[in-house]
Amino acid sequence: MRTTAQAVADAADALVPVTDTPRLDAEILLAHALGISRSQLLGRLRNVLPPEAAAAFQPLLARRLNYEPIAYILGTWEFFSLEFITRPPVLVPRPETEHLVEVTLEHLRGHPGRVLDLCTGTGCVAIAIAINAPNAVVLATDIHPSAVSLARENCAKHQVDVTIHQGDLFAGLSTREPRFDVVVSNPPYVPDEEWTTLPAVIRLHEDPKALLAGRDGLDMIRRIIAGAPGWLNPGGLLALELGEDQYDAVASLLAAASFRDIGCRHDLAGIRRIIHGATP
């Protein structure tokens, strides 16, 4: 009979080629198999691991050894201190995307406003905005039916009034829809040629359509910048998540489209991750 500590150590050793955080991954998965929190698991490391828990742990570990994201294995993931349902192939929420929510909330400053989230995916950005700016009217669009369905599930989970439309960017909206004070998006921005260089955890499980955007990764961003002025109120904010080294090119696109007050928000790695600008 193995102890919990031995099970964690063995799993962590096996996970070294798969992840930069093998022990953490092992602890999270074993805690999930046991139906307890990770902190509770750490208090039971000297305990003998029950056979039924060991049996439940093995398929979870096998999925992770196949580079499956932990968020898909658990079925939920945290974003902006909120728990979201996650399901393949919809993109897993990333911590750097939280800066989109911050920029939007700072622009609204607690006042009512209308917000549109494009390429919503799980709905995490739209829902986090709606919860933290309860007076805002929040809409979101996504072209993929699986994402729209998942975003609606997350709206129901959080009991938040966010309207989710299926459609290609602004085409998902009614022509009678009023303009917005903020348009925000984490669009596809990975250059096509970089697909083979991405980690296996992404290539094998997440939807390439949610990531790839042409030769330079800016195809979708160009479309959003071209369409946003027709949907934004004067002084309205456009905020976009970017890939590394894309800020200068996108800043030029915004300037050419007459956006002003162009600026950025760095992520925790120091990358100019969020670009924002205002309509005249």
pLDDT digits (tens, 9 = 90+) for 239-278: 999 999 999 999 999 999 999 999 999 999 999 999 999 9
What is the per-residue pLDDT for 112? Answer: 87
- Average pLDDT, stretch 202-227? 94
Q: Which domains does the chain have, with CATH numbers?
A: 4-66 (1.10.8.10), 79-278 (3.40.50.150)
**CA atoms of 152 and 143, how far apart (whole Å):** 14
Residue 110 has pLDDT above 90, yes or no: no
pLDDT at 236 > cutoff 90: yes
Q: What is the pLDDT of residue 111?
A: 84
**Is the whole model's pTM more than 0.95, yes or no?**
no
Q: Which residue has the higher pLDDT, 1 or 94?
A: 94
Compute the mean pLDDT over every residue in the chain, rounded to the nearest whole number: 95
Instruction: Identify whether 89 is preceded by a cis peptide bond (ω within 30 of 0).
Output: yes
pLDDT of residue 120 exceeding 90 = yes
Assess whether pLDDT exceeds 80 at residue 81.
Answer: yes
Centre a 10 Å sphere on the Cβ of residue 265 and count the other Cβ atoms it contains.
Answer: 18
Given this model, what pLDDT does residue 83 score?
A: 97
Q: Answer yes or no: are the C-beta atoms of 22 and 29 closer than 8 Å.
A: no
Local confidence band at 280 (pLDDT 50, 70, 90 cut-offs): confident
**64-90: average pLDDT:** 96
Task: Encode pLDDT of 121-153 as tens digits.
Answer: 999 999 999 999 999 999 999 999 999 999 999
